[in-house]
Amino acid sequence: MRIVDLLKTLLLGTLPVLPVAAQGQPPNRRLTAEEYIAQWQEVAMAKMKEHGIPASITLAQGLLESGNGNSELARDANNHFGIKCTPDWRGGKVFHDDDRKNDCFRKYRDAADSYEDHSKFLLRPRYADLFTLRPTDYKGWAHGLKKAGYATDPRYPQKLIDLIERYELNKLDSGQRPARPAKPTTAPATQPARPPRRGDSEEVTVTIGAARPVERYAGRIKMVTARKGDTFERLADELGQIPGMVARWNDLPKDAGLAEGQVIFLQPKRNSVKDPATHTVKAGESLWSISQQHAIKLDKLAAYNGLSPDAPVKPGTRLTLRKPKR
């Protein structure tokens, strides 16, 4: 575009807006894996803190499914995870041949929205078992995704694991940064790690190494009981977690004091509760204590009842624990 034409388009406000993934990137310039990691690792870590999905898994899936951000879908639609349209989708759309001719895929204004949508996709009930794993167990997550039906490729788990180990993405899961992503090499053939076996019934209590027992609320949400002198820093160090994430999952600041006997969840609480559907407030209770008692996210509990998260609640008040029907 000539300078005169460029000035005209600027003055008339008609300059086309490029997809974010393509801004500053020549049309024929292909991103390397190292460049993709540098560009998106902070977003992957932010989504890990918000939703509890290992950053290594998110980033490896982005690398694999977008071809380092070079796929047509990533460039044209800022869609890094191949997420298709659903009947309730109200955003932009693009059409590409996939399982069917002219399959509908979601189009995003910003590729970061694709990362958020990917996280929300994995919060569906079919992937609930993944959140019983430690956030540093990237191998368990990789195999769990395949087991839950995320991908049909039998080598999908190993492909994720190879990417994570080749570029040291597992360091992101504990708040570190890869020292320097290695240049891609042909990875040696390895035997896929076997997914953890599950018994006929869910265990109620597990033990991590020589650490304290880790219980499972409602059969799936990991929790521990705080001991005298515990802090989020100490708990996280003992259990291989990230302090800020554990605090966020319990709707508390990272430096909050922990009382002896207090329930501390080690993964995200639920968005709603099916049974019981309501809770009648007792003397001395708060929205936060009720959210801990039923393992429901504080902001969801407050929103369902038209309250702010720090609003006081009177004894005898009946609170709903699920999203009201309209």
Burial of 307 (0-12, 13-18, 19+ CB in 10 A): middle
Number of domains in the chain: 3
CA dist 129 and 148 (Å) reads 9
Query: Does one domain contain both 113 and 168?
Result: yes
As given in the structure block, the two tokens for residue 265 are: 């969840």
Peptide bond into 27 cis (omega under 30): no
Question: DSSP secondary-structure letter at 53?
Answer: -
Query: Does one domain contain both 38 and 91?
Result: yes
Task: Determine the length of the chain.
Answer: 326
Of 239, 265, 291, the residue at which a domain comes to its end is 265
Query: Does one domain contain both 227 and 165?
Result: no
Q: Is residue 284 part of a domain?
A: yes
The confidence score (pLDDT) of residue 58 equals 95
CA dist 129 and 267 (Å) reads 11
The confidence score (pLDDT) of residue 319 equals 94
Query: Does one domain contain both 170 and 287?
Result: no
As given in the structure block, the two tokens for residue 287 are: 């929205």
Q: Is residue 189 part of a domain?
A: no
Q: Is residue 181 part of a domain?
A: no
The confidence score (pLDDT) of residue 71 equals 87
Q: Is residue 110 part of a domain?
A: yes
pTM of the model: 0.52
The confidence score (pLDDT) of residue 17 equals 33
Query: Does one domain contain both 33 and 148?
Result: yes
Please report, for the domain that includes residue 254, its CATH number: 3.10.350.10
The confidence score (pLDDT) of residue 241 equals 73
Query: Does one domain contain both 123 and 17?
Result: yes
Q: Is residue 304 part of a domain?
A: yes
Q: Is residue 229 part of a domain?
A: yes
Of 174, 195, 228, the residue at which a domain comes to its end is 174
> Vertex 120, ends 119 and 121: CA angle to 5°?
90
Query: Does one domain contain both 138 and 260?
Result: no
The confidence score (pLDDT) of residue 219 equals 64
pLDDT in tens, 84-137: 888 888 889 888 766 677 788 899 999 999 999 999 889 888 888 898 888 889
Query: Does one domain contain both 289 and 252?
Result: no
Residue spans of the chain under pLDDT 50: 1-24, 26, 181-211
Burial of 22 (0-12, 13-18, 19+ CB in 10 A): middle
Please report, for the domain that includes residue 82, its CATH number: 1.10.530.10
DSSP per residue over 168-235, as a string? TGGGGGGT---SSPPPP--PPP-PPPPPPP--SS--SEEE-TTS-EEEEETTTEEEEE--TT--HHHH
Query: Does one domain contain both 167 and 301?
Result: no
Rounded to 10°, the helix 55-66/138-147 angle is: 60
Q: Is residue 198 part of a domain?
A: no
The confidence score (pLDDT) of residue 212 equals 66
Query: Does one domain contain both 134 and 244?
Result: no
CA dist 280 and 316 (Å) reads 6
Q: Which domain holds residue 290?
A: 278-320
Pairing label, strands 263-265, 278-280: unpaired
The confidence score (pLDDT) of residue 126 equals 87
pLDDT in tens, 280-289: 999 989 999 9
CA dist 312 and 163 (Å) reads 48
Query: Does one domain contain both 9 and 110?
Result: yes
The confidence score (pLDDT) of residue 82 equals 87
Q: Is residue 188 part of a domain?
A: no
Query: Does one domain contain both 119 and 230?
Result: no
CA dist 184 and 124 (Å) reads 33
